[in-house]
Structure 1
Amino acid sequence: MAESRAEPGSPPILLGVSLKLYLDVERTARWAHDVAAIARSHPAVTDGSVELFVLPSLPAVPLVVQELAGTPVRVGAQDLHWDDRGAYTGAVSGQDLRTVGCALVEVGHAERRQIFGETDDVIGAKVAAAFRNGLVPVLCVGEHEPGSSTDAAHVCISQIESALRKVQIADAEIIIAYEPEWAIGQAEAASADHVRAVAATLADRLRQDPRFATVRVVYGGSAQPGTLTDLRGDVDGLFLGRYAHDPAELARIIDEAAALR
C-alpha cells in the first residue's frame, strides 16, 4: 500500500466507480464490504488526498450505503427521473435517492443516450432534478467519433451548456466525467494528450461559471491502472468501470493516485 504524500492545500484526486449492471446484489454487497476495508485503512483515503465515490445498481444502493457507513466513500445512483413524483411507472425519484443515502447521481452516460434514447432535453431535466434534490450530478459528456481535441472539446461544451441551460443554483458542486464514446469498453483509454487538452478546456469553461463552487473533471472511457500516471495529474481523477470491479485493482489505482500526491 502506497504511503500518502499529500501536500497541504493540494486538491484531492477523485476516483469514482460505476458498477453498471455487472454485479448482482450479493456480489455488490461483498464488493462494497471489501472497498470499505480499503477506505478505512488506506492512508490516502483517510487523509483526504484521494476521494472515492461508487455508483451501484439501484437495488443494491441501501446495502452499499450500509457497508460503507463510517467511511468517507460517497454513494450514488446511476440514474434518476426528471420529476420527483407522478405517474412514471418504473422511474426513480431524486427525493427517494437522497432518502436512501445517495449523495450523487450519474446523468447523461453514452449508454443512456444510445440504448435508452435520452435526448439533451431529458438530460438537462435530470441534471436539474439532481440539483433540486441536493444530489451532485456526475455529468457524462464525450464525442462520438475520434477526432481532434478541439473538436471534442466543442462537442463536450455544447453538451454541458445544454445540460445546464435551465439550472439556477449557487455554490454547487458538479463532476464532469469526460468519456469519449469511442473509447468506452475498449482495451485502451484515449491518448493522454487528447484527454489532457479536452479536460483543461472543460475545466476552464466551468470554473468561470459563478454557479459552481466545486468543479471536478474526471476521465472515463476504459480508464485503468496506469491511466492516471499517464495523465500526470492533469485531470481531477478517474471515472472507473470494469477495471475497478475487483477491489484489489481499485486499491492499486488508489496507490497510483497516492504516488501522484
Structure 2
Amino acid sequence: MAPLPRPRRIVGVSLKMYFDLQSSLSYVRGVYQLDGEAWNARVDLFVIPDFVTLMESSRILESSHIMLGAQDVFWEDQGAFTGEVSPRVLQQAGAKIVEIGHAERRAMFGETGEWVAKKAGAAARNGLIPLVCIGEKTHHSIASAAVGAAVEECRPQVTSVLAAVPDDVEVILAYEPVWAIGAAEPADPDHVVHVTKELRKLAAGRNGVTRIVYGGSAGPGTFAKIAEGVDGLFLGRFAHDIKNLKQVIEEVGAA
C-alpha cells in the first residue's frame, strides 16, 4: 500500500505576552506583507497575537491567505464564566486557529488533559482548528529510552483530544518537548522524527487532516532535519523578528 500523501506544510508564530498593543499590530502588518510570496503555494502561515488585538488583526489579515489564531479558549460557548473567552466569539472575531494546552498553561494555570480535550472539542464545534500543544516533561539521556518515554507521555494527550473532536475536522498537534522550550538548541532531530512518527500513527484512519508541527527553540535549519516526521514549525521569540520568520518560511517551503 502506498503511503498517504502528507498534508500541506505549515508555519506559525505566537506572540505570547511579549508585545504591547501597537507593537502587536505592527508585527501583524509585517506578517501581512509576507503574503503572496512564492512559498504560499506550499506553506500555510498563521500568527497568534493576544486577545485584545484579535479584531484589528483580523481586519489587517482579511484579504490575505494568512490564518489568525488565538492563544486560548474556554470549553463553553456562553455563560457565567468571568474572564474566559468563548470559542463562538473567537470565530466571529475572525480567528481560524486556537492554541490549546501550551506547557505554560498546563504548568502555571493547572490545565489538565481533560480541560485541553474539552477546549479542543469546543473549538472544533465552532469551526476553529484546534492547535493542541503536547510534549513530555522529562528527557532521558539514553536516546532509545527517551523516545519510548516521550511517546508514552504524549499518547494520552493525543488520544483524549482526538476522542473529543469530530473525526472529519482538522487538528494540528504541536509537539513541544517541555524541556526544549526556551532552550539554547531544539531537541535532537532523530528524537523528534521518531516521536512524531509514532504520534502520527495515533491519527491514522481519521477523515480529517492531522498536521504535526514542532516547537521548542526552533529556528533556521530546524525543519530540514525533522521534515520526515513533521509538517511544519511552531515558532516563538526567534520569529518575533519578521526577517527571521521569513527565513524559516522560505526554508520550510524549499525543503
Q: TM-score normalised to the size of structure 1?
A: 0.90
Task: Could you tell me which runs of 5 or more consecutive residues in structure 1 were left unpaired when the two chains were aligned.
Answer: 1-8
What whole-Å deviation, never above 9, does each CA across 1:46-68 have from its counterpart, x for those lacking one? x2x01101111100111211111
Aligned to 2:17: 21
Check if 1:100 corresponds to 2:93: yes
Aligned to 1:179: 176
Identify which of 161, 164, 170 aligns with 2:162. Answer: 164
Aligned to 2:143: none
* Contact map agreement 2:46 2:67 (CA 8 A) in 1: yes
CA distance in 2, matches of 1:116, 1:11: 33
Q: Which amino acid aligns with 1:251?
A: K
Report the Cα offset of residue 151 of structure 1.
Answer: 1.3
Aligned to 1:76: 69
Is the alpha carbon distance of 1:154 and 1:101 closer, same or farther for their aligned partners in structure 2, counting shifts above 3 Å? same
- 1:53-202 mapped onto 2 (5 Å cutoff): 53-147=46-140, 148-167=146-165, 169-202=166-199
CA distance in 1, matches of 2:38, 2:228: 19
Q: Which amino acid aligns with 2:32?
A: A
Report the Cα offset of residue 10 of structure 1.
Answer: 7.0
What whole-Å deviation, never above 9, does each CA across 1:114-154 have from its counterpart, x for those lacking one? 00111112112111111111110001100001031111011
Aligned to 1:218: 213
Q: TM-score normalised to the size of structure 2?
A: 0.92
The alignment-based identity, stated in percent, is 41
Report the Cα offset of residue 70 of structure 1.
Answer: 1.4
* Contact map agreement 2:76 2:86 (CA 8 A) in 1: yes
The number of residues matched between the two structures is: 246
CA distance in 2, matches of 1:249, 1:225: 8
Q: Which amino acid aligns with 1:230?
A: K
Check if 1:247 corresponds to 2:242: yes
Q: Which amino acid aligns with 1:37?
A: Q
Check if 1:203 corresponds to 2:200: yes
Residue aligned with 2:35, SS: helix
Identify which of 229, 232, 238 aligns with 1:237. Answer: 232
Residue aligned with 1:225, SS: coil
